[in-house]
Structures are given as C-alpha cells and as structure tokens.
A and B are shown apart, each in its own frame.
Chain A
C-alpha cells in the first residue's frame, strides 16, 4: 500500500493504483485513482461549516441513487463512514461519507468494482481506515505526498499550478499576495535533455532580474546536491516596502529513482529567518530543507 497526502487528506491505496485526476482547490475537489485498466477509487472533498447528519445524508443519498436507477441498492456502513452501494452500468459502486470537524471537511470515498473483480468489503474497510485528515500544525506547514514527491510547504500558500506529465511533475505554491512562491519538481527522461551538469542547468531556473549571491555543492547520502541563492537586483520599489526578495534553490539527481529533484523558494528577505523551512524528500536517505 502506498500513501498519498493531498490538501491534508491522507489515504493509503494499492501500489499500482495511480493518481490520474486531481483538483487544486482546497475547499472543494476530487482525486481519482486508476489501476492498469480503469478508474478504481475516487476521493471527493468539500468544506462545510457545520457537522452534517451523516446517517440522514446516507439515507437521502440512497433514495436519490434508487431514483437514478441504481441496481441492487443497499446501505454500506463502516463506522464512522456511512454510505450506499449498488450496481451502476458494469460496475459495483460503493460510496461512503465521513466528516472531519478539525478542518470542516466532508469526504466521500467511492470504490469502483469492475465485473471481474470480486467486491471486498475488507479491502474497502482497510482503505477507509487509512483515510485521515491531518490537523493544523503549530509550525504552519503542511505535508504533501503525490506523484513521487514528498514535501512540506507552508499551509497558508495555495496550490497555484501542478504540471503532471509523463516523467515530469512540478507543484507550484504561492502566497495570496504573490510575493512568496515555492516549487517542488521531479523531472525524468534525463538522457533526453540534461546534457550539462546539474549545477549549470540549475542556474537557468533563476527568476528574471535575480543575481546569484552564492552557490554550493554538498553530498548527502550519495546524493550530490547543488545549492544556490540569488537576490533581486536591481531592487524595485515594492521590495523597499516588503523586503528584497531572495531566491533559494536545491537540485540533485536521486540515484535510486534516476530523476532530478528540484526545490525552490522565493521569499522576502525580511521574512527569511522567521519562517519554518520547507523541505523535499526523494527517498528515505535524503531530505533537503530550505
């Protein structure tokens, strides 16, 4: 089983179930996972202010599904999860709902069982038991784990962009005032495009109008890590008010995964020392904090 952590929602699913669809919105969205041949699991979330009556919700939902033509409808309960099961087209579908008051999140877990797969309530129970919503942390950070990346980012920053292409994944988080940006990347197909040393390629990632102030190399658990810092130059008026922005970055090739990992952080320098560090992990031997 492999863990996925997204928007503070944690779930463990079989190793060969992959995340194929996602939503960036923290208040309302979904994740959809597939095995080799078809979608098997979906996790939906929505933020609500008051705890719902889950039992009534489940009954109402079952009635609605019956009206919609669900075959062999019945209630499904794996406390505290409640829901409805039945046949939709060629699939047996189980839908469970639960509420997490800590973040006001209403979750719906949907299992799709194709014809040839035997419905397993014990498997559903195992997955449902693995679902958790992480509480707010005192350090203001949030854990994410998906698409081969495992990282810690500021909770108040929102997921601005996610590029999830074959072999390339880049998460970009940004503050509401757009002054702070963090990126976490995992890049593959290195043979095809990385024809210069990492420390040189890395310099091309510096934002426009930034000047390198220091570079460094370090070895951590057989990972050759390139580190870089840069500063906005010349300073613009807004930097006089909010502080000159600095750019910090680290990049390395993980010998186990044979992928290039990159973490960058753009932050006002007056905030630099007050903030908890963000971090990126590629394997159990390696974690870099900025």
Chain B
C-alpha cells in the first residue's frame, strides 16, 4: 500500500524471537572514554589472507579500528552485557527516553544493527521453545 507508513519496514508475523535474543559485547574490543566523555571502542582487525608481499608493500593494513559512540550508543552498548535480552534493552531505552515500546524497539534495533555490522556487539539467538 503506497500511502501506508510504518515504524518498521519489515513487518514479520511476530518479533518475539528477535526480542528474546541476548546481546553481548565483542570481548576482543577495548574501550575508553574520550575528552568529550564519549565511549571510544577499539576493535582489532583481522588481517586478510591476501595481504602478503608484494601486496602488503602497497596496501596499508591497520591492525585496529576505532568507533566513537554518542550518548545513545553508549547507553545501548552498556546494556549489551551478555545478560540483557533485546526486549530488556528496549525497555531500558523506553524508560530513559520516555518512548512507547515500539518507538524504542525501532530505535534500538536500528542501532543494534549498526553496532553488529561494525563488530562492536554480538547477538546470541535463543532456541525457539
């Protein structure tokens, strides 16, 4: 329906399984606060197999990459402690920003996708019971 808008583009029958997933930090990442009080996460890069001489003589390899999170990202990252489910993180976010559950869900899921893509956090999917 062309004139139908929704908070989320994909609308599965149920998003319960996704909400029951547990989020955890990338244990290989180092963190520190920068001068502005923002969380900086340093992640080790895996050296690609093709980076051998003579390619490595011309292609620079950076052993780490840094990601600086804003306040919202910092909060979400802190809640990804290996115990909290996505649902618990959404509830925390909802309470912190006075949002409805689905407003918070859309924001958190969007943010978590970015954090996962960047290798900052990982997801533990619960087996369907």
Contact = CB atoms under 8 A, between A and B. Distances in A.
A163 B11 CA distance: 18
Contact of A24 (B3, B7, B13, B98): B3
Contacts of A164: 5-7
Nearest to A38: B14
A34 B102 contact: yes
B106 interface: yes
Given A25-B3, A166-B103, A166-B107, A188 B97 contact: yes
A76 B101 CA distance: 32
Contacts of B100: 18, 148
B107 A167 contact: yes
B11 to A, nearest CB: 7
B50 interface: no
A21 B101 contact: no
A24 B5 CA distance: 9
Contacts of B107: 166-167
A89 B12 CA distance: 14
Nearest to A114: B14
| Interface of B, helix, strand, loop or mixed by DSSP | mixed
Contacts of B72: 189, 192
Interface string A6-37: 00000000001010111111000110101011
Chain B interface size range: 20 to 34
Nearest to A259: B98
B111 to A, nearest CB: 10
Interface of B: 1, 3-8, 11, 13-16, 19, 70-72, 87, 97-104, 106-107
Given A39-B11, A192-B70, 8 more contacts: A21-B6, A23-B1, A32-B6, A37-B15, A38-B16, A167-B103, A189-B97, A192-B71
23 contacts: A20-B6, A20-B11, A21-B5, A21-B6, A22-B6, A23-B4, A30-B4, A36-B87, A36-B101, A90-B13, A114-B14, A148-B100, A162-B5, A164-B5, A164-B7, A166-B7, A166-B106, A167-B97, A167-B103, A188-B97, A188-B103, A189-B72, A192-B70
